Amino acid sequence: MASSVYLCLLRAVFLVCFVNPLIQGLSEDESVFQNPHHQQEENLTGLPIVTFKWHHVETPYLVIIWVFVAGLAKLSVVELNHHVISVVPESGLLIILGFILGGIVWGADRAQTFKLLPPTFFYYLLPQIILDASYFMPNKLFFSNLGAILIYAIFGTCWNAATVGLSLWGCYEAGVMGNLDIGLLQFLLFGSLIAAVDPVAVIAVFEEVHVNEVLFILVFGESLLNDGVTVVLYNVFDAFVALGGPRIDAAEIFKGIFSFVVVAFGGSFLGIGFAILLSLLTRCTKHIQIIEAGFVFVVGYLAYLTAEMLSLSAILSITFCGICCQKYVNANMDEKSVTTVRHAMKLLANGSETMIFLFLGVTAIDTEIWVWNTGFILLTLLFVFIYRIIGTFLFTWMLNKFRLVPIEVIDQVVMSYGGLRGAVAYGLAALLDEDKIPEKNLMISTTLIVVYFTVILQGITMKPLVQWLKVKRAAHSDLKLIEKLNNRAFDHILAAVEDICGRIGDNWWTRGWNRFEENYISWLLMKPKARKNRDYLFSIFHKLNLEDAINYVSEGERQGSLAFSRSDEAANVDFKKQFGSEFADVMPNIMVDMSNYELGIEHFSVTSIVKDTIPSVSLDIHGQDRKNAMDDINAHHLLQQHLYRSRKHHRHKYSRSHFSINQNEDEVQEIFQRTMRSRLESFKSTKMGVNPAKKITKHHKKELTHKMPNGHPDGTGHLYGDEEVEGLCVFLPHLIEAGIENPVFLPDMDSPTHSPPWLMETEAVAPSQRAQRRLPWTPNRLRRLAPMRISTCSTDSFLMADVSLTLEEHEEHSQTDHVEM
């Protein structure tokens, strides 16, 4: 591991060492021979077979080389020793690596040839990061905290800019900084640019410290919007500086404030407009699915550039474009395009983020920009830090008077500490006009120092701080099993009760908006088909079933034969119909859709499953497993590892580099599947009472229970063990019968709602093997399993004890059901 890391590093360094002198040497050549083109042509004596044409490709080549180096840098940083990674955030490491690379370049050139120029940053690197952040924004969370986010973003930023600027000016007037050529307006301009809390840096750090989702969205949302606000503020002050102090009167100030409002909100509305355009566009890309993914990027960028052109806030524009369009675009586009967009978006954003941090480091290694003024720099650091804290507490105090859930003190501390400055501040500083602001370089170097200080130092200390703030507990190593279990159970209970009580933001406004959105906006912006498929439960259910079907096939392939999936002999079971009939009664409204889904595998010949070779090792594994489990089971460990997490602890959904860092996704699916199946079960068991062909059903059931999970749902796959095959063999005749007699199996019968109840019991051929192994251990299920366990001398017989009892109970139960019905 480590060696490969160093190899990567070495490679990166080598590359830079070799390529840069090469580039340098070549550009010197260029300057020596005034016109290489000309020279070449003149000296031409014969037809050259190959020529070296560096100048043709110079710019794109350099760009791509740097992209490549950035990629390598990221690779080496991520693969670096995990101890380092856990201490220093990735962004900090990239900056440090940038120092090294910058040093190499400087060593070769004696000057910094490569810099992060503001146009490059604002036009090519920033947009995709903002688009990514907004496109994957957890919308519900964002909008339910929108008020707080706006307060922090707008007033917090203004507060920071004003206080930092004014305090610096005050200190300057007091003579702390010596002789500088800076006026009040310039100080305010500097204050406004340094007020930009950088979303990239913030996410990079906050993703590694796991804070609660409200805190995350507050910090993240704030930093995202605050960039926009900063730029607007910066432009206003820039205009003031250009205007010059004496000419500013009340009217100009009023105009400045007005322009601030217009620019910020105008940008936002422009973004929303582009979001609508994008949603409408994706509505009609049914026949050109291959390019619909491109629209997301193009329209997003267009929103950015258009806003820039109209001198509205470009960042806010692209932010709102991303936030507003995501729902409709994702629903409208083909599933493949959605995946493409996601991957491409993450790729672009991650790439530019890496470039930005790397270049923030590289840029620093330059003698030109460094102007040192101890007073100015240290005071800036101090003020930035202090006013952030004061501002956060001040605004939180005001917000808490209105908020349903007050923001706690710890959260406030983390928030104020999370005021990381990043590339936006640097970009704005580099954008300063040297004619108007003579001390530009001082401002740049101060900004850089603030960036390094916040990203690296605060980044490093953030995690320990979060841990330390929450660690108000004694060590608890000797927690008992029952306590552990209870802890988690209580979590689940709380989560459930909270769901029953409704969400906190679930008030009249949200409900009204939701209704409006559902009725009108969705109608306008979503494909009719997409609207129908929106049903949440169904979409998950569909996904799970697809997955099951795929697993079913791959399981078959793993067993060494695919014959069963494409055999036309004997008892064919129409997978689709079978499936449909099983769930028809529970979800009648979705069954119509269900028949539209081509699963690709329509015919499963059960006979071939039976004929399929039974892996001879499976029983051994079985025995071994049990033995091992009995021997060295560490119950505590197991509990810790496998207890389902409560929804309470699901982390925020946005992640820089993954679509979801919520590792509970699988769990959620598992639980969901179980819940649905157990509900199905209970539904069926009540249905059983009205079953006319009760005898047959019972028979079926007995055979079928044979096939119930035999206690090893661990995926080691002894699917076709003796018991199952036995069960299937007995079951088979009925199945064939079913296949022939059942009208549901007739072709072109799409409505499976009238399937005979006894068909519902044919679950041995139900969607998948895995799904069966996952059948829930509800009380009903256990009772039904009980008789079978005895008859087959099953090994996992924790039910043995009360078998007879449960059997009776079961009989009684169904009897009473019958009566009740």
Partner 1 sequence: MGSTNSTLLKIPNVEVLMQETGFSPAHIIRLHDRFKALDKEGRGHLCPHDFGAIKELAMNPIGDRIIGAFFSPGKETVDFHTFVKILAHFRPVDKDRPKEPNSPEPINSRSNKLKFAFQLYDQDKDGKISRDELLQVLRAMLGMQVTDEQLESIADRTIQEADLDRDDTISFEEFRKACKHKRFTMFRFCIRPGERKLMLTLCHWSSELQDQHEL
Distance in Å, CB of 3 to partner 1, minimum: 28
Q: Which helix (H) or strand (E) holds 574?
A: strand 572-574
Distance in Å, CB of 144 to partner 1, minimum: 14
Q: Based on C-alpha coordinates, what's the Rg of the chain?
A: 33
Distance in Å, CB of 718 to partner 1, minimum: 12
CA distance 237 to 249: 14
Distance in Å, CB of 482 to partner 1, minimum: 5
Comparison of 532 and 649: residue with beta carbon closer to partner 1: 649
User: Which of 190, 221, 198, 229 minimizes the C-alpha distance to 125?
Assistant: 198
- Number of C-beta neighbours around residue 757 at 10 A: 19
What type of residue sits at position 446? T
Distance in Å, CB of 405 to partner 1, minimum: 6
Distance in Å, CB of 404 to partner 1, minimum: 5
Comparison of 390 and 807: residue with beta carbon closer to partner 1: 807
Q: Are 694 and 730 in contact (CB under 8 A)?
A: no
Give me the residue label for tokens 């060295």: 632
Distance in Å, CB of 503 to partner 1, minimum: 9
Comparison of 569 and 631: residue with beta carbon closer to partner 1: 631
Long-range contacts (CB closer than 8 Å, 24 or more residues apart) made by 544-550: 544/669, 544/672, 544/673, 545/579, 545/767, 545/768, 545/771, 546/597, 546/599, 548/767, 548/768, 548/770, 548/771, 549/575, 549/599, 549/600, 549/601, 549/767, 549/768
Give me the residue label for tokens 């390598």: 72
Comparison of 74 and 653: residue with beta carbon closer to partner 1: 653
Distance in Å, CB of 463 to partner 1, minimum: 8
Comparison of 255 and 403: residue with beta carbon closer to partner 1: 403
Distance in Å, CB of 652 to partner 1, minimum: 13
Comparison of 367 and 519: residue with beta carbon closer to partner 1: 519
Distance in Å, CB of 87 to partner 1, minimum: 13
Comparison of 258 and 777: residue with beta carbon closer to partner 1: 777
CA distance 233 to 161: 9
Comparison of 471 and 617: residue with beta carbon closer to partner 1: 471
The phi and psi torsions of 742 (rounded to 5 degrees) equal -70, 120
Give the sign of the dihedral formed by CA 93, CA 96, CA 98, CA 100.
Answer: negative
Distance in Å, CB of 173 to partner 1, minimum: 47
CA distances from 488 to 44, 99, 180, 640, 647 (A): 81, 47, 61, 10, 11
SS3 265: helix
Comparison of 397 and 490: residue with beta carbon closer to partner 1: 490
Comparison of 22 and 493: residue with beta carbon closer to partner 1: 493
Distance in Å, CB of 617 to partner 1, minimum: 17
CA distance 153 to 202: 14
Give me the residue label for tokens 């093997």: 769
Distance in Å, CB of 314 to partner 1, minimum: 37
User: Which of 71, 94, 61 minimizes the C-alpha distance to 8?
Assistant: 71
Distance in Å, CB of 649 to partner 1, minimum: 5
CA distance 269 to 262: 10
Distance in Å, CB of 472 to partner 1, minimum: 8
Q: Which helix (H) or strand (E) holds 332?
A: helix 314-332
Q: What ranges make up the beta strands (E) of 65-193?
A: none
Q: Alpha helix (H) ranges present in 244-288?
A: 250-283
CA distances from 704 to 79, 352, 730, 761 (A): 50, 57, 9, 8
CA distance 77 to 68: 14
Distance in Å, CB of 708 to partner 1, minimum: 12
CA distance 483 to 619: 36
Comparison of 83 and 642: residue with beta carbon closer to partner 1: 642
Four-point Cα dihedral 717, 719, 720, 725, nearest 10: 160
CA distances from 806 to 236, 695, 776 (A): 78, 19, 17
DSSP 473-488: S-------HHHHHHHH
Comparison of 531 and 645: residue with beta carbon closer to partner 1: 645
Q: Give 517's DSSP letter.
A: I
Comparison of 18 and 777: residue with beta carbon closer to partner 1: 777
**Half-sphere exposure of residue 298: CA atoms within 13 angstroms, side-chain side:** 10
Comparison of 28 and 796: residue with beta carbon closer to partner 1: 796
CA distance 26 to 61: 13
CA distances from 536 to 519, 540, 541, 746 (A): 17, 6, 9, 31
Distance in Å, CB of 489 to partner 1, minimum: 7
User: Which of 422, 391, 421 minimizes the C-alpha distance to 152?
Assistant: 391
Comparison of 28 and 483: residue with beta carbon closer to partner 1: 483
CA distance 48 to 40: 10
CA distances from 247 to 161, 250, 385, 801 (A): 22, 10, 33, 94
Distance in Å, CB of 407 to partner 1, minimum: 13
Comparison of 379 and 799: residue with beta carbon closer to partner 1: 799
Comparison of 280 and 639: residue with beta carbon closer to partner 1: 639
Comparison of 162 and 671: residue with beta carbon closer to partner 1: 671
Q: Which helix (H) or strand (E) holds 166?
A: helix 157-173
